[in-house]
Amino acid sequence: MNLVVNARDAMPNGGIIRIDVEPRRLAEPLLRERADLPPGDYVVITVRDNGTGIPADKLPKIFEPFFTTKKTGEGTGLGLSTAYGIVKQTGGFIFAESTLGKETKFSLFFPAHLRPSDPEVQVKPKGERAASIQSGGVILLVEDEAPVRAFASRALRMRGYTVLEAESAEIALETLSNPDLTVDIFVTDVIMPGMDGPTWVKQALETRPDTRVVFVSGYAEESLAENQMRVPNSVFLPKPFSLNQLTNIVHEQLH
């Protein structure tokens, strides 16, 4: 969906979006854009448009979180990084080609798997499944910007965490009002409409004093230092951040 939306936006005067799906067998490893595709069978999806294209100097950066070629206010810079994360989560690969003023093509390679004729269904005991889900830890993610929240939530779930989402401090506190709910770490924006991050976290820690905290903000850490010092077990992550930066800092806080 993100690829199609980007293709549409690249054609302000209209144009053609073409989506193709085909099987492809690689007899030898394919080296492309620093990726090494092993030999095997793949399902390849291509999304092509005849829009404005992407400048050559911008092309290597398009999958980075918060990077966008659109005008200010027209894009979050999370669409392609989200698509990249989804493809990588399946063990696939995604590549981009573009000719400025002519076309852009995205190629997605997914490993092909043959479905067994008589598959055996394995059902894990309930206790085992619950233990697996909880093994990564439970995160309460508080972020008022929906695209950023979706990006962060997907990144954390890809690493095996259970993520509870809240779009405001007030909703976060309401979620925590359930005494049976276990939360290991708060990941929260600092500046939000209504109650800000440090304020709601201090209130939540009154009943959950051992919970770890990650503050996220586009403002400099120095400007938030006084508030952060008053919150125990807290660290700061500046925006913009990458998938690895987010998951690494959460892992460090929990371990």
> Domains of the chain (ranges plus CATH)?
2-111 (3.30.565.10), 126-254 (3.40.50.2300)
pLDDT digits (tens, 9 = 90+) for 209-232: 999 999 988 765 554 555 555 788
pLDDT of residue 22: 95
Cα–Cα distance between 133 and 118 in angstroms, integer? 28
pLDDT digits (tens, 9 = 90+) for 175-202: 999 989 999 999 999 888 889 899 999 9
Number of CB atoms found within 10 A of residue 250's CB: 26
pLDDT of residue 161: 92
Cα–Cα distance between 193 and 69 in angstroms, integer? 28
pLDDT of residue 148: 82
Cα–Cα distance between 98 and 49 in angstroms, integer? 10
pLDDT digits (tens, 9 = 90+) for 100-146: 989 999 999 998 876 655 444 444 444 433 333 334 799 999 998 88
Cα–Cα distance between 215 and 187 in angstroms, integer? 6
From residue 60, alpha-carbon distances to 55, 95, 156, 181 in Å are 10, 10, 24, 43
CA dihedral (244, 248, 249, 254) positive or negative: positive
Query: pLDDT band for position 78 (50/70/90)?
Result: low
From residue 202, alpha-carbon distances to 185, 186, 199, 207, 253 in Å are 13, 11, 5, 10, 17
- Average pLDDT in the 240-252 region? 85
pLDDT digits (tens, 9 = 90+) for 155-177: 898 888 999 999 999 999 999 99
pLDDT digits (tens, 9 = 90+) for 17-73: 999 999 999 999 888 877 888 899 999 999 999 988 888 888 888 877 666 665 655
Whole-prediction pTM value? 0.54
pLDDT of residue 109: 93
Gyration radius (Cα) of the chain, Å: 21
pLDDT digits (tens, 9 = 90+) for 146-155: 878 888 888 8
Chain-centre distance of CA 79, in angstroms? 9
Label residues 190-223 b or e (16+ Cβ within 10 Å = b). Answer: bebeebbbbebbeebbeebeebbbbbbbeeeeee
Cα–Cα distance between 133 and 93 in angstroms, integer? 26
pLDDT of residue 183: 95
Measured in Å, how far apart are the chain's first and last C-alpha atoms?
Answer: 36
